Amino acid sequence: MLDWRGVVLALALLLSACGGGGGGGGGGGSTSDQPITGSEIPPYEYSPPEDRLDGWEVGDLEDVQLDAGRITRMVDGMVQGDFEGIDAIAIARRGQLVLVERFARELDDFDRWIGNGDPERHVLHSASKSFTSALIGIAADQGYFGGTEVPFLPLFDYGEYDNYDGRKANITLEDVLTMRLGIQWDEWSEPYTSNRNDLVALNSQNEDWTKALLDLPMAAQPGTVYAYNTAATNSLCDALSQVTGMSTDEFSERFLFEPLQMSSAEWDNTPTGHCVGGSGLFLTARDMAKLGQVFLDDGQWVGQQVISANWVHQSIAHAVDFDGEFATGYGYQWWLGEFREGSRRYPFYYASGYGGQFLVVIEELDLVVAAFAQNYTTGVFSLPLQIIEREIIPAVLDR
């Protein structure tokens, strides 16, 4: 377990999707998930992904109507360092995995937090939130919650809460999923390295993060005001454990990771032993893309209904409106957005994490893209989204 009190920088793990960008140039590329290193980097040559018997049907770019020349030039740009800080990319179209490439990177402090020694596996940061939401959906499908309108506080056995007023009793599970708790909270005004940041203060001063969150004063009626809240997502893991009697590690392994054949998944844990659902999941890009394919296929993976189609549709429905560079809304821990190509508009939904971790689903194009990056400090956080809009969408040949 991490020493959360002693290592302030460890709280960068909990950075939100609104973090900045940074990191160095790409490094080497591969044709079989093995990075190229050295001072002279040869031009990239495409080959289909390895068939690992992990549920993915693998295919060729041209087989799914993707311009192989354009995609090859794009990946070569990542190999040569023209696209800053990209660590890995995976593309699936029409249910086939057609590209998986990773680029040489050094293991860093994020990897040390779970003892990760595999450079193919990467921290998702806040993209973890969408996986946590999927777990809540699976539990809801199994009847553990009784619906998203259930009161949230009675899911725990704390008994009483500080700063109590009647509005706290009105917080529902859906309010937590859509980050409209009404609790006094500000995670975006101060940097995550500052003790004035509400998330940093809460995690560094408390052992039980969920109790500390629910003890805070109310600022608005639940369900009315959006406030990005990583601590709220962490509390979803605690709620999941309370209602199922299983740890989130056990539940996620049994009902999500095993059915999706995700061999790379590992969670970081809170001081009380719960998964850090807001930012602590580690996966490979190949495995990350699977959740996108499941959502694209109405909750199914290899013919098995892993998540109900109803939960998928609820998750990606607009609950909150946004007007950002790409974001247009927020659902159940999923961002909603729109790509533009000339006069065309392509709605999409996505998981998003600090430094450039993205899982993107474009239903109209039957397309899933997963990307990892190390853009923590140089302001190009949204680079993977820019690459999708400028390089991958134009490579679709049958629009």
pLDDT tens-place string over residues 324-379: 889 999 999 999 999 999 999 999 999 999 999 999 999 999 999 999 999 998 78
pLDDT score of 324: 86
Work out the average pLDDT over 386-397: 97
Q: What's this model's pTM, rounded to 2 decimal places?
A: 0.91
Work out the average pLDDT over 62-70: 97
pLDDT band at 5 (very low <50, low <70, confident <90, very high): very low
pLDDT exceeds cutoff 80 at 38: no
pLDDT exceeds cutoff 80 at 14: no
In terms of pLDDT, which residue wins out, 164 or 127?
Answer: 127
pLDDT exceeds cutoff 80 at 16: no
Work out the average pLDDT over 44-72: 98
| % of the chain residues with pLDDT over 70 | 90
pLDDT score of 98: 98
User: What's the 3-state SS for the chain?
Assistant: CCCCCCCHHHHHHHCCCCCCCCCCCCCCCCCCCCCCCCCCCCCCCCCCCCCCCCCCEECCCHHHCECHHHHHHHHHHHHHCCCCCEEEEEEEECCEEEEEEECCCCCCHHHHCCCCCCCCEEECHHHHHHHHHHHHHHHHHCCCCCCCCCECHHHCCCCCCCCCCHHHHHCEHHHHHCCCCCECCCCCCCCCCCCCCHHHHHHHHCCCHHHHHHCCCECCCCCCCCCCCHHHHHHHHHHHHHHHCCCHHHHHHHHHHCCCCCCCCEECECCCCCECCCCCEEEEHHHHHHHHHHHHCCCEECCEECCCHHHHHHHCCCCEECCCCCEEEECCCCEEEEEEECCEEEEEEEEEECCCEEEEEEHHHCEEEEEEECCCCCCCCCHHHHHHHHHHHHHECCC
pLDDT exceeds cutoff 70 at 114: yes
Across the chain, mean pLDDT equals 91
Work out the average pLDDT over 46-64: 98
Q: Model confidence over 164-186: pLDDT tens digits?
A: 899 999 999 999 999 999 999 99
pLDDT band at 198 (very low <50, low <70, confident <90, very high): very high
pLDDT score of 71: 98
pLDDT exceeds cutoff 60 at 45: yes
